[in-house]
């Protein structure tokens, strides 16, 4: 279905990380052990200019931090964004790092780069954080609870990899940074531009910039804790259950101070009845596509059916998933599917499924290829809804 021009599109997921095939990477390293891949990713150019990154850190809707390595680790300063011009103009005689979270939500090239990691399901992708550091700077020895690819964009960085950590790992007394008290160095690498380091959850790591203008891209993944899973599922179910339905007496135990086994059994039966494939899929689809920044205004200029027909007739350009939009689908029993987008569930009848599958799996469609996907009016109507909500947009490339 894709035309040949779509074949080399930047949104196509990677098949290799350097010389390692993604299949080998997933079976040997993913969620198992760290791996350093020199020339892991080929860049034609920087994903973002340094002044654009600094500009993002000034914006109130962008999450950013500046960490100054002044003096002892416990005295390191953290300035939380939005930053102000003066934070950048200040002369510093000690190393510092600027970290900007969720850059893929704001910069199309960074969103495209994130899409290359869709060799894991796209609902698992969290965001791309970009750091800019001066020589000698770092955020200290720490661990993250999610998988991460650390990719060197510019300059050089030394990475040290340490022990597996847990909730019991001792942390330093710092009120803003979660830094490890003990760091046992097991491996050490120096990454040049294009070099990639994969680190599984809970593995200690520490990076230090070996040059000025050291830019590192961190591709982070979503990994909800089981605690969050239970809390969020219960929350979703609770909104669907009528407040009129209450616990019923199951007969009484002989002692008034006792909670009877019959009461416990009845509670379990009620709770277990909530765990159906439909309920779990409906909740998880919404939960896993929740926006990282729900306050971001996504709205596109509304388009009507005639304007859509004109774009299709022109056959020029592409239809893209908007930056920061998360979407995923599950199949329904009737041959239709439910599209989950930004935490909302949209039931789609069978006539709409080819279009939804194509956009959710490819993230970009050549306009000249979408005609057969929109054979039914219901599919065009769905495209208009998604476009007018700001979830999809038309672009030149």
Residue closer to ligand SIN by CB (options 144, 323) is 144
- Considering CB distances under 5 to 8 angstroms, the limit depending on partner class, which of Co ion, ligand SIN, none binds residue 287? none
Give the separation between CA 321 and CA 106, rounded to whole angstroms. Answer: 13
Classified as helix, coil or strand, 243 is coil
Give the separation between CA 209 and CA 220, rounded to whole angstroms. Answer: 20
- Name 192's Cβ contacts closer than 8 Å, sequence gap at least 6: 38, 152, 156
Residue closer to Co ion by CB (options 144, 323) is 144
Task: Name which of residues 283 to 342 contact ligand SIN (CB under 6 A).
Answer: none
Task: Name which of residues 110 to 149 contact Co ion (CB under 5 A).
Answer: 144
Does residue 154 bind Co ion (CB under 5 A)? no
- Considering CB distances under 5 to 8 angstroms, the limit depending on partner class, which of Co ion, ligand SIN, none binds residue 386? none
Q: How far is the CB of 92 from Co ion (least distance, A)?
A: 23
Residue closer to ligand SIN by CB (options 183, 393) is 183
Task: Answer yes or no: are the C-beta atoms of 204 and 142 closer than 8 Å.
Answer: yes
Which residue's structure tokens are 């046992």?
184
Whole-number Cα distances in Å, 306 to 256, 313, 376: 72, 10, 15
Binder among 11, 98, 139, 359 for ligand SIN (CB under 6 A): 139
Write out the E strands in the chain: 16-17, 20-21, 35-37, 64-68, 77-80, 96-100, 125-133, 148-154, 157-164, 187-191, 196-199, 203-209, 214-221, 318-321, 327-331, 337-341, 344-348, 364-366, 392-395
Residue range at the interface with ligand SIN (CB under 6 A); choices 144-152, 229-237, 242-250, 263-271: 144-152
Does residue 144 bind ligand SIN (CB under 6 A)? yes
Binder among 64, 131, 152, 362 for ligand SIN (CB under 6 A): 131
Does residue 205 bind ligand SIN (CB under 6 A)? yes
Residues of this chain that interact with ligand SIN (CB under 6 A) are 97, 131, 139, 144, 148, 150, 205, 207, 216, 218
In the complex, the residues that contact Co ion under the rule CB under 5 A are 144
């Amino acid at each position: 279905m894709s035309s040949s021009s779509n074949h080399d599109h930047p949104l196509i997921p990677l098949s290799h990380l350097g010389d390692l095939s993604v299949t080998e990477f997933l079976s040997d390293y993913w969620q198992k052990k760290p791996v350093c891949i020199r020339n892991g990713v080929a860049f034609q150019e920087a994903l973002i200019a340094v002044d654009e990154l600094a500009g993002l850190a000034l914006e109130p809707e962008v999450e950013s931090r500046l960490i100054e390595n002044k003096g002892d680790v416990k005295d390191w300063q953290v300035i939380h964004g939005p930053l102000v011009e003066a934070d950048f103009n200040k002369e510093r005689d000690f190393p510092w790092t600027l970290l900007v979270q969720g850059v893929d939500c704001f910069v199309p090239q960074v969103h495209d780069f994130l899409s290359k990691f869709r060799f894991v399901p796209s609902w698992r992708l969290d965001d791309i954080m970009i750091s800019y550091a001066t020589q000698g700077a770092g955020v200290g020895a720490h661990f993250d609870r999610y998988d991460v690819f650390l990719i060197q964009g510019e300059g050089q960085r030394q990475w040290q990899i340490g022990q597996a950590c847990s909730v019991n790992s001792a942390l330093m007394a710092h009120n803003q940074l979660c830094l490890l008290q003990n760091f046992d160095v097991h491996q050490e690498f120096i990454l040049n531009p294009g070099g990639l380091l994969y680190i599984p959850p809970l593995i200690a790591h520490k990076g230090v910039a070996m040059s000025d203008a050291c830019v590192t891209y961190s591709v982070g993944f979503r990994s909800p804790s089981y605690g969050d899973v239970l809390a969020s599922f219960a929350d979703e179910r609770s909104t669907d259950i009528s407040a009129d339905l209450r616990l019923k007496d199951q007969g009484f135990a002989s002692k008034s101070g006792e909670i009877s086994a019959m009461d416990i059994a009845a509670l379990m039966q009620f709770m277990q009845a909530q765990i159906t494939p439909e309920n779990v899929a409906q909740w998880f689809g919404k939960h896993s596509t929740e926006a990282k920044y729900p306050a971001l205004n996504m709205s596109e200029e509304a388009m009507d059916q005639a304007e859509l027909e004109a774009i299709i007739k022109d056959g020029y350009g592409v239809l893209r998933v908007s930056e920061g939009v998360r979407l995923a689908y599950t199949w329904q029993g009737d041959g239709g599917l439910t599209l989950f987008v930004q935490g909302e569930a949209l039931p789609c009848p069978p006539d709409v499924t080819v279009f939804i599958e194509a956009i959710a799996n490819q993230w970009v469609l050549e306009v000249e290829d979408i005609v057969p996907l929109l054979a039914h009016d219901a599919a065009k109507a769905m495209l208009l809804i998604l476009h007018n909500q700001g979830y999809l947009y038309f672009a030149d490339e």
